[in-house]
Amino acid sequence: MVSANQKPRAYSYIRFSNATQAAGDSYRRQRESAEAYCAQHGLELVDAKEYSFFDQGRSAYKARHLDDTGELARFLAFVQDGTIPKGSTLLVESLDRLSRERVKDALPRFLDLLNQGINVVTLADGRLYTSAYNELDLIISIVQMSRAHEESATKGKRVSAAWRRKQDSARTDSLPIGKLRPLWLDYTPDGYIPNPERVEVVQRIYKLAQDGYGHRAIAAQLNQSGVPSFSADRKNASGLWANSGIARMLSNRAVLGEYQPHQFIDGKRVPVGAPITGFYPPIITEDEFYAAQQAVSSRRQSQATKPGKRFNVWQGVSQCGICAGPMHISKRGNSRILRCFRNIQGLCPAKPILLPRSEEVFREILAKVDSLALVQSNQGKLQRQIAVCDGRIAEAQERIESLQSQILNLSGALPVSIISVMQRLEEDLSRHQQERDSLKEDIAREQIINKDEFFSRLDLVSYEGRARANSLLKSLNVEVAIERIGELRGKKAPVHYRVSKEGLPIFSFLDTSGELEFLPLTTPSIAIAEVQGEVIRPEFHQYVLTRERQSAWEASERTRLEELCKTSSFKDVASAEGISVRELKRILAGERSNRRAP
């Protein structure tokens, strides 16, 4: 309660809903009106920070000022818990600052405020509303709320209609839509033109992404270089780049010159129609765009987040040979080690591996796979083209999945347009996959013959070089299972590096007391080792031949059994073959079978 010697307290609530009002005089005008009213009527305007109620960019039409983060919601909570006492006054410019909702929604909230002993003053007309309101007060408040709602609804319809006209003109006549544009472009009476300084920043972001830098690392580089965010003069007071801004930049197809019209449907901003190509001046090539997409996707799949001074070459490539958990870099004394993450949690018995030695093995692995792209410009070009194909494949798959989810929500016959788009996307997907396979064949034709020359030109020192090597192995679907085998008394236990490509084992390295032995598991891996002058134990030749003959026979058997199962039951086929139904299903699933080639 307010004491006899204390002036009644007043609280000012200020709201405006868009950046134009923020840039203008709205806040100052509302604040000065509150101060003048308090001085004239003997009220104490509470201006402590915790009792300042200011909603910027909050729509009262959609009641966003009343959600859990709104300042008006905070005021109402203070009233409810008694922090703001009865007899206090809430100062607003007009009732539409409190609400532009429909009267049936806004009026009960307004009356509840009065019934809790809070007076409301509308500064524009000096009208005071109290708990002792009469019918005239009620009628006036209803009229004002109704007017506010209708004004907002009409304004929203006009704005929406105006935007639809602009979007239609953009699609049919390529006419500019106005000053709302990508922030690396300037708007002139003749259209959009690139801003050279900002374009350079965008191109730098895409280059860093291709070099293996994540969103956080890119933002850090720009901030450390003193490059201000594009929104620094609009709504970003700090002027610093954030991860989210980098992520939006790397997925924004406007850099390719595309404009995608949007509309708000049920409160959600959704794309309308196909993108308009060639609408903006392009500042990034398609190859650069998709290469960056592939690099970002690769980091996301490997769950890479925190940037380091030295890129972890094993990131997303290595896994524990015991539990298949991810391998993390950590410290043990003065040494850096590779350690199973589940071992860190106490869930896996795997022993740690010295990081420097493991990176020597990493280098040897590169020499045995299609990694000439790291040292030869022609191979590098092919690898970049593969990355572009991967980016286009991922985009086509994402759009197909999106259409499939939309189709599930449709009833009745499918629209011809959707069927046409789906067919085109599937054709694009098939074409990109064939192009990628062809490029991989071109790369596979060349082999690393001179390892010493390859190693002398290989960059595993710089952040960018290490990131490229890591990205190349990911693009080849190479994975390495690392395991320290047992414990030998008086000696360090050997470490086994099992290398697979696209899920199939291709070779291993056994690191024993500092000596590294190459263990081929396929005929091509034997051929590569012999070309590079390595000695392969004779028994491995016979082992690989036997293994490949077994694999070929199993594939042939699987195909034969699949054909039989098309016309007969599992039980009948298994009985005829002299095996169990369970064994039959294992063979059909491609699992290791107990059967051996004749």
pLDDT digits (tens, 9 = 90+) for 221-261: 888 888 888 876 656 567 788 888 888 888 888 898 888 77
Residue 338 DSSP code: E
Q: Is residue 89 part of a domain?
A: yes
Looking at the 3D structure of the chain, how many domains does it have?
3
Domain end point (choices 276, 311, 346)? 311
- In this structure, of 421-430, 445-454, 464-473, 531-540, the range with the lowest mean pLDDT score is 445-454
Answer whether residue 365 is part of any domain.
Answer: no
Same domain, 147 and 21: yes
- Residue 147 and residue 27 share a domain: yes
**Residue 253: helix, strand or coil by DSSP?**
helix
Same domain, 186 and 283: yes
Q: For residues 186 and 269, state if they share a domain.
A: yes
Calculate mean pLDDT across residues 566-578.
88
Q: Is residue 541 part of a domain?
A: yes
Whether 37 maps to a domain, the answer reads yes
Task: Write the pLDDT tens digit of every residue in 179-200.
Answer: 778 889 888 877 888 999 999 9
At residue 20 the predicted structure's pLDDT band, cuts being 50, 70 and 90, is very low
Q: 38-76 pLDDT, tens per residue? A: 999 989 888 776 677 776 644 444 444 444 446 777 888
Q: What does the alpha-carbon distance between residue 199 and residue 288 come to, in Å, rounded to a whole number? A: 14
The residues facing 507 across adjacent strands are 499, 520
Residue count (the chain): 598
Answer with the one of 290, 311, 332 that is the final residue of a domain: 311
Is 263 found in the same domain as 190?
yes
One-letter amino acid at 375 equals V
Residue 404 lies in a domain: no
Same domain, residue pair 142 and 195: no
Inside any domain, residue 296: yes
Going from the C-alpha of 48 to that of each of 10, 11, 52, the distances in angstroms are: 12, 10, 6
Q: What sign does the CA torsion over 438, 442, 445, 449 have?
A: negative
Burial class (CB in 10 A: 0-12, 13-18, 19+), 431: middle
214 and 180, same domain (yes or no): yes
| CB-CB contact of 274 with 403 (8 Å) | no
3-state helix, strand, coil in the chain (%, to 5): 50, 15, 35
In this structure, is residue 360 part of a structural domain? Answer: no
Same-domain pairing of 183 and 147: no
Least confident of 154-168, 273-287, 574-588: 154-168
Q: 20 and 143: one domain?
A: yes
Is residue 207 over pLDDT 80?
A: yes
Are 205 and 218 within 8 A, CB to CB?
yes
Last residue of a domain, which of 258, 280, 311? 311
Is the Cβ–Cβ distance between 245 and 498 less than 8 Å? no
Contacts 24+ apart (CB under 8 A), 221-227: 227/201
- Per the prediction, the chain carries an average pLDDT of 77
Quick one: 148 and 84 in the same domain?
yes
Q: What is the DSSP string of 33-84?
A: HHHHHHHHHT-EE---GGG-EEEES--TTTTGGGSTT-HHHHHHHHHHTTSS
The mean pLDDT of 111-126, rounded to a whole number, is: 83
Amino acid making up residue 44: E
State the CATH number of the domain containing residue 288. Answer: 3.90.1750.20
Q: What is the pLDDT of residue 317?
A: 92
CB 305 within 8 A of CB 398: no
| Structural domain that includes position 251 | 176-311
Residue 78 in domain: yes
pTM above 0.95, yes or no: no
Q: What's the CATH code of the domain at 128? A: 3.40.50.1390
Do 74 and 185 reside in the same domain of the chain? no
Same domain, 105 and 46: yes
